[in-house]
């Protein structure tokens, strides 16, 4: 019997949507978006297999991948993308058709305390992955990037893919550097790389250092809600599942070398988000504390994702109102998950970031 072809390519050689039995390496898979993406892929495609790689930093949590162990299409690999030795071992033992890189240090406030691990993972780590793509001939590399690489907007307008790269904090600077390394790998070595830049995500499994899960957890425990500055900084919010579907469409359909913005089309001031959470939990606004602002705090983000909609036919499926209600519900139903996360190192982190700020109010 003739062997079934591994890939059935569409007429356009670069169009991956007809790939069969694609094996994807998902890095940062035990984090917030990575774990949601692993579940999304396994849920959407019977013939996909996923190698979920993570070094399990404070933000990586095997509980985020609970229940997937029994799935033959899933395997977990503990490895550090910034270690050439780890990467040599992983790529020597597996053959991947595509890599989706979520692995990163991701919290702006932590990058303001110490940027070194951000440089290590977000820059060296990405270059390591690109080197392996080149060495092993991996067909596709998707770098998951962020709107923060563009810096801050004034009162009007949105970021397009042509907006200048002007990061304002160490996290954003390392993500911007990674985007440039990916561009260079595409231009110099023909690595079939693509970049997605997404707005602020929210949803299940988000580490409670980020605005939405932090405010939900604090409000549930009747703790103060620390809002930076005047609370009028604007973020564009997208439900994590909509981000996953966008990454999936770019992974399978984009031409190499392209960049796509991903936005939720819901840009609102932080204070509005915080008050929405309090309302959903039936908690008083007196829990809100306006605290000293974050240094270099970007005033406004808003994403224009027209290119992704028009070229690849993507759209969001969730409204902010239904998604925030579902997210609040998830945190209420999974209190054990975030209570376990908010112990140990987290307690020290919280005290060093918020202790003085909250005392001086
Ligand atoms: P997260 O912090 O929840 O998860 C990051 C994961 O990467 C963790 O599981 C961590 O253990 C892992 N990791 C860190 N260093 C590693 C290393 N050296 N080797 C292997 N694994 C390592 O972050 P997230 O919110 O899920 O973000 C995922 C990606 O999406 C990041 O690249 C981030 O820049 C990007 N992004 C996030 C948002 C957002 O709103 N959260 C928005 C746009 C883009
Ligand atoms: P965050 O979730 O850290 O994401 P990012 O900095 O990547 O946008 O913060 C979202 C917004 O919420 C940002 O404007 C900072 C603000 N913020 C607060 O006001 N208080 C907080 O305790 C945190 C964590 C964030």
Note the pLDDT tens digit of each residue in 172-211. Answer: 999 999 999 999 999 999 999 999 999 999 999 999 999 9
Q: Is the CB of 198 under 6 A from ligand 1?
A: yes
Which ligand has an atom closest to residue 111 CA?
A: 2
348 within some domain: no
335 within some domain: no
Q: How many Å apart are CA 209 and CA 243, to the nearest integer? A: 20
158 within some domain: yes
What global pTM score does this model have?
Answer: 0.96
Q: Is the CB of 233 under 6 A from ligand 2?
A: yes
92 within some domain: yes
pLDDT tens digits, 280-295: 999 999 999 999 999 9
Q: How far is the CA of 139 from the centre of ligand 2 (A)?
A: 36
Q: Domain containing 173 — which CATH number? A: 3.40.50.720
286 within some domain: no
pLDDT tens digits, 324-350: 999 999 999 999 999 999 998 999 999
164 within some domain: yes
Q: What is the pLDDT of residue 360?
A: 76
Residues taking part in catalysis: 147-148, 171
355 within some domain: no
Number of domains in the chain: 1
Average pLDDT of 69-78?
97
Average pLDDT of 20-32?
92
Q: How confident is the model at residue 16 (pLDDT cuts 50, 70, 90)?
A: low
Which ligand has an atom closest to residue 277 CA?
A: 2
Q: How far is the CA of 142 from the centre of ligand 2 (A)?
A: 26
Q: Is the CB of 226 under 6 A from ligand 2?
A: yes
Asked if 212 contacts 206 with a C-beta cutoff of 8 angstroms, the reply is: yes
Looking at the chain, the whole-number percentage of residues with pLDDT higher than 70 is 94
What secondary structure, in 3-state letters, does the chain show?
Answer: CCCCCCECCCCCCCCCCCECCCEEEEECCCCHHHHHHHHHHHHHCCCCEEEEEECCCCCCCHHHHCCCCCCCCEEEEECCCCCHHHHHHHHHHCCCCEEEECCCCCCHHHHHHCCHHHHHHHHHHHHHHHHHHHHHCCCEEEEEEEHHHHCCCCCCCCECCCCCCCCCCHHHHHHHHHHHHHHHHHHHHCCCEEEEEECEEECCCCCCCCHHHHHHHHHHCCCCEEEECCCCCEEEEEEHHHHHHHHHHHHHHCCCCCEEEECCCCEEEHHHHHHHHHHHHCCCHHHEEEECCCCCCCCECCECCHHHHHHHCCCCCCCHHHHHHHHHHHHHHCHHHHHHHCCCHHHHHHHHHHHHHHHCC
Q: Is the CB of 228 under 6 A from ligand 2?
A: yes
Q: Is the CB of 110 under 6 A from ligand 2?
A: no
Q: How many Å apart are CA 184 and CA 136, to the nearest integer? A: 18
User: Domain limits at 103?
Assistant: 23-202+238-263+300-313
Q: Is the CB of 80 under 6 A from ligand 1?
A: yes
Please measure the distance between the N-terminal and C-terminal CA atoms of the chain and give it in whole angstroms.
Answer: 75
Q: Residue 277 CA to chain centroid, in angstroms? A: 22
Phi and psi at residue 80, in whole multiples of 5°?
Answer: -110, 120
Q: How far is the CA of 209 from the centre of ligand 1 (A)?
A: 13
Q: How far is the CA of 30 from the centre of ligand 2 (A)?
A: 22
159 within some domain: yes
Between the CA of residue 162 and those of 12, 87, 181, 194, 258, what are the distances in Å? 25, 33, 17, 15, 12
Q: How many Å apart are CA 218 and CA 354, to the nearest integer? A: 13
Which ligand has an atom closest to residue 212 CA?
A: 2
């Amino acid at each position: 019997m003739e062997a079934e072809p591994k890939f059935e390519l569409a007429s356009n050689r670069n169009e991956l949507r007809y790939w069969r039995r694609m094996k994807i390496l998902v890095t940062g898979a035990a984090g917030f978006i990575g774990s949601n993406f692993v579940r999304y892929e396994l849920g959407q495609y019977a013939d996909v297999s996923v190698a979920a790689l993570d070094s399990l930093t404070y933000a990586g949590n095997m509980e985020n991948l609970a229940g997937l162990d029994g799935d033959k299409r899933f395997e977990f690999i503990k490895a550090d993308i910034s270690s050439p030795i780890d990467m040599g071992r992983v790529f020597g033992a597996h053959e991947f058709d595509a890599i989706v890189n979520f692995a990163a240090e991701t919290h702006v406030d932590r990058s303001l305390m110490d940027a070194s691990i951000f440089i290590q993972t977000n820059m060296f780590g990405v270059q390591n992955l690109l080197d392996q793509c080149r060495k092993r001939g991996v067909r596709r590399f998707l770098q998951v990037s962020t709107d923060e690489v563009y810096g801050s907007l004034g009162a009007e307008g949105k970021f397009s893919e042509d907006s200048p790269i002007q990061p304002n904090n160490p996290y954003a600077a390392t993500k911007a550097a990674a985007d440039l390394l990916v561009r260079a790998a595409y231009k110099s070595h023909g690595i079939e790389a693509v970049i997605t830049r997404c707005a602020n995500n929210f949803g299940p499994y988000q580490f409670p250092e980020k605005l939405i899960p932090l405010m939900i957890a604090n409000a549930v425990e009747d703790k103060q809600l620390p809002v930076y500055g005047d609370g009028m900084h604007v973020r564009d919010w997208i439900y994590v599942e909509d981000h996953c579907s966008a990454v999936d469409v770019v992974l399978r359909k984009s031409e190499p070398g392209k960049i796509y913005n991903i936005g939720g089309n819901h840009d609102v001031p932080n204070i509005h988000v915080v008050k929405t959470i309090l309302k959903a939990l039936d908690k008083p606004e007196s829990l809100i504390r306006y605290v000293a602002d974050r240094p270099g705090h970007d005033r406004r983000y808003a994403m224009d994702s027209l290119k992704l909609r028009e070229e690849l036919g993507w759209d969001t499926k969730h409204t902010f109102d239904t998604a925030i209600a579902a997210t609040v519900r998830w945190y209420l139903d999974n209190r054990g998950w975030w209570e376990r996360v908010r112990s140990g190192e987290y307690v020290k982190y919280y005290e060093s970031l918020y202790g003085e700020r909250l005392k001086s109010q």
